[in-house]
């Protein structure tokens, strides 16, 4: 499943079938469906990446990190610290 292909709207927000979400640009594995949860944002929400090298992060502002594909640098959005479904979890 390609993640962050913004053309034509986000088709995976309400998609909860088992699988792996990959970068729309290069196919690098990013998130597992096991880490996906329902959220009020217009985008899919995940609690963690598939692997440590799935994404690259840099601080954009306090509490929010800019997230890119760990392989090709494609923009994926943000990691919001302490905004996950449980205390202390992040939301990607």
Question: Which of the two residues, 39 and 89, has the higher pLDDT score?
Answer: 89
Choosing among 3.90.1300.10, 3.90.1150.10, 2.170.150.20, 3.40.50.970, the CATH entry for 20-91 is 2.170.150.20
pLDDT at res. 14 = 66
pLDDT at res. 31 = 92
- The rounded percent of the chain whose pLDDT value lies above 70 is 83
> Is a pLDDT exceeding 60 seen at residue 92?
yes
Domain ranges in the chain are 20-91
Of 28, 15, 31, 21, nearest in space to 1 by CA: 21
pLDDT at res. 6 = 45
What are the tens digits of pLDDT across the range 13-46?
Answer: 667 688 898 998 999 999 999 999 888 877 788 9
Cβ–Cβ under 8 Å, residues 4 and 21? no
């Amino acid at each position: 499943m390609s993640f962050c292909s913004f053309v034509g709207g986000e088709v995976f927000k309400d998609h909860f079938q088992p699988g792996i979400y990959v970068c729309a640009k290069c196919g690098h594995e990013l998130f597992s469906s096991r880490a996906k949860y329902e959220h009020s944002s217009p985008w899919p929400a995940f609690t963690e990446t598939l692997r440590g090298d799935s994404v690259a992060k840099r601080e954009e502002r306090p509490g929010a990190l800019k997230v890119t594909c760990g392989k090709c640098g494609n923009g994926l959005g943000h990691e919001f610290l302490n905004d996950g479904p449980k205390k202390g979890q992040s939301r990607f």
